[in-house]
Amino acid sequence: MNPDQYTVVINGKPTGPYSLNELKDLNIGANTFIRKPGMDDYKEAHAIPELRELLGFTYQKTAPQYFAAFDQRLLASVIDHFIIFGFYTLIILTSYIFIEGKDQRIMAFLVPFPVIFLVKLVYGSITEATKSQATIGKKLLNIKVTDLEGSQVSFGVSLVRNFSKILSVIPVFFGYLYSFLNKKNQCWHDIAANTLVIKDRLI
């Protein structure tokens, strides 16, 4: 396929391909989704340099409007905690080989339990700053963490985001529920770190 050919989403359906000159005759807006060979996914027209020049759009410093919903984020978190809890349980059960007595075993299971949340903090901070921008749970839900422009975040930003989840938990998880009031579905820890959680696929 010619690298100068563009596929345009019109009325929810990909059409084309079109040449760069042919795009002038289409009713393309700044937020029209367009793709050309070499691109991993569709982008809004304003995010493609040659289309900004051709059609006079201004680059909008926002991620795509396909923000991950609260239920997707919650399910991804549940998956991550389930995986970590599984490893934790396996390690504790293995330790029972060396621990005798019911009370001692119960204590061995409960005392290190807060480690699960520490592991999730470190795991989330590292994985969400990688190229995939997501934990296993987020990958399975096709969502990822980005900055306000839809780009990969640094480890420092990711660490701030994950550590700030304490703000979203206190009081009474309102920081998470705040996402229903925010047009970008941001929780308080997203706002603290200037991050977004978006769907991986645009259409």
pLDDT in tens, 42-70: 888 888 888 888 888 877 655 455 788 89
Residue 14 identity (one-letter amino acid): P
Q: Residues 173, 187: contact at Cβ < 8 Å?
A: no
Checking if the pLDDT of 203 tops 50, the result is no
Checking if the pLDDT of 76 tops 90, the result is yes
The pTM of this model reads 0.66
Checking if the pLDDT of 38 tops 90, the result is no
Cis preceding linkage at 3, omega within 30: no
Structure-block tokens of residue 125: 């901070």
Q: How far apart are CA 143 and CA 70, in angstroms?
A: 11
In this prediction, residues 65-88 reach a mean pLDDT of: 91
Checking if the pLDDT of 13 tops 70, the result is yes
In this prediction, residues 159-172 reach a mean pLDDT of: 88
The average confidence (pLDDT) of the chain is 86
In this prediction, residues 127-146 reach a mean pLDDT of: 94
Q: Which of 125, 131, 121 is nearest to 200 (CA)?
A: 131
Checking if the pLDDT of 183 tops 50, the result is yes
Any residues with CB less than 8 A from the CB of 49 and at least 6 apart, and which? none
Q: How many CB atoms lie within 10 A of CB 15?
A: 12
Q: How far apart are CA 87 and CA 49, in angstroms?
A: 46
Q: pLDDT value at position 60?
A: 64
Between the alpha carbon of residue 50 and those of residues 7, 73, 80, 148, the distances in Å are 14, 35, 40, 22
Q: Residues 198, 143: contact at Cβ < 8 Å?
A: yes
- Give me the count of residues in the chain: 203
Q: How are beta strands 43-44 and 33-35 bridged, if at all?
A: antiparallel
Tokens 């905690």 belong to residue: 81
Structure-block tokens of residue 78: 């549940």
In the chain, pLDDT over 70 holds for what percent of residues?
A: 92
pLDDT band per the 50, 70, 90 thresholds, residue 201:
low
Q: pLDDT value at position 42?
A: 83
Q: How are beta strands 33-35 and 6-10 bridged, if at all?
A: antiparallel
Q: How far apart are CA 61 and CA 27, in angstroms?
A: 22
Q: pLDDT value at position 186?
A: 92
